[in-house]
């Protein structure tokens, strides 16, 4: 599987501020994905980060709230903008497996608490 | 879009017994069904997966079965051990590079020694 480094691992932020989460992969991947895991809940896909084009957002998620960058095939960022306590979640990036492609492997996650 | 239902939400078993978790999906085009184990404070880890051209797959104490007609798939853990205690998620996706995954709600498994 790919080695995925996600930063920061956790943060406590004031409401109204923004936080940018970084995801670095040790090999080039065509697609990177961002998920949210609210406390005690399952994972929900936020968006697909496409290299060279705008991210594709899932229903209920918008670019103004969760802007995404994908400057190259090994790196992506997710920004959580104008945060409120409801944004307190774990945010995870995900990339395909190297060998078979369909598997998804996850970064260690960013545990965000908004106060 | 795809919808994945997972049952039960919690499961308590005695060490050595078997555990079964069931999932149903809505989109007949889904063709890839992974299972993830998430321990407290850690990332989800892929433990087994199955593709739509296979009905059953086994890896040591874990096995997954798929019924495409009924659109449901199940995870079976035999001879459970305390280290199997975790939250398990099923998921479904479409396509070869389809890790645009739709997850079930999760099952919290507790294995009592």
Burial of B77 (0-12, 13-18, 19+ CB in 10 A): buried
Annotate chain A with DSSP letters as a single string. ---EEEE-SEEEE-TT--EEEEEEESS--SEEEEEEE-TT--EEEEEEEETTS--EEPTT--TTTS-EEEEETTEEEEEE-S--GGG-EEEEEEEE-SSSS--EEE---EEEEE-
Say if the Cβ atoms of A103 and B49 lie within 8 Å: yes
A91 alpha carbon, distance to own chain's centre? 5
Q: Considering only CA atoms, which of A25, A33, A31 is closest in space to residue A61?
A: A33
What's the mean pLDDT in A65-73? 95
Residue B97: the pLDDT is 52
Residue B98 has pLDDT above 70, yes or no: no
| Beta-bridge partners for A48 | A33, A56
Share of residues in chain A with pLDDT > 70 (%): 95
Residue B41 has pLDDT above 60, yes or no: yes
How far B38 CA lies from chain A's nearest CA (Å)?
Answer: 10
Residues B73-89 pLDDT 10s: 999 999 999 999 999 99
Q: Which of A23, A29, A104, A107 should be substituted to probe chain B, the one whose Cβ sees the most B Cβ atoms within 10 Å? A: A104
Confidence of residue B53 (pLDDT cuts 50, 70, 90): confident
Cβ count within 10 A of residue B10: 10
Q: How many CB pairs under 8 A join A and B?
A: 56
Residue A98 has pLDDT above 70, yes or no: no
Q: Which of B7, B32, B101, B108 should be substituted to probe chain A, the one whose Cβ sees the most A Cβ atoms within 10 Å? A: B101
Residue B95: the pLDDT is 66
Residue A91: the pLDDT is 98
How far B3 CA lies from chain A's nearest CA (Å)?
Answer: 11
Least confidently predicted of B39-43, B44-48, B91-95, B98-102: B98-102
Residue B99: the pLDDT is 64
What's the mean pLDDT in A51-77? 94
Say if the Cβ atoms of A92 and B43 lie within 8 Å: yes
Say if the Cβ atoms of A31 and B97 lie within 8 Å: yes
Residue B72, both tokens: 């449901």
Say if the Cβ atoms of B101 and A106 lie within 8 Å: no
Residue A1 has pLDDT above 80, yes or no: no
What's the mean pLDDT in A87-93? 98
How many Å apart are CA A43 and CA A37, to the nearest integer? 5
Residue B96: the pLDDT is 56
Q: In whole numbers, what is the pLDDT of chain A averaged over residues? A: 93
């Amino acid at each position: 599987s790919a080695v995925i480094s996600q930063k920061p691992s956790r943060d406590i932020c004031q409401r109204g501020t923004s936080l940018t989460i970084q995801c670095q992969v040790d090999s080039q991947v065509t697609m990177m994905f961002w998920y949210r895991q609210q406390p005690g809940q399952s994972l929900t896909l936020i968006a697909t980060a496409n290299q060279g084009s705008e991210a594709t957002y899932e229903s209920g998620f918008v670019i103004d709230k969760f802007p995404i960058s994908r400057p190259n095939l090994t790196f992506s960022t997710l920004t959580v903008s104008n945060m409120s306590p409801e944004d307190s979640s774990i945010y995870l990036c995900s990339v395909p497996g190297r060998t078979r492609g369909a598997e998804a492997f996850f970064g260690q996650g960013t545990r965000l608490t908004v106060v | 879009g795809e919808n994945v239902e997972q049952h039960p939400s919690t499961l308590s078993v005695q060490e050595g017994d078997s555990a079964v978790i069931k999932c149903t999906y809505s989109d007949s085009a889904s063709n890839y069904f992974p299972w993830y184990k998430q321990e407290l404070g850690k990332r989800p880890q892929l433990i087994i997966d199955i593709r739509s051209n296979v009905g059953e797959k086994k890896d040591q104490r874990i096995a997954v079965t798929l019924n495409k007609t009924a659109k449901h798939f199940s995870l079976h853990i035999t001879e459970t051990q305390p280290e199997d205690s975790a939250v398990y998620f099923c998921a479904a996706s479409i396509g070869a590079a389809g890790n645009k995954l739709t997850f079930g709600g999760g099952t919290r498994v507790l294995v009592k020694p």
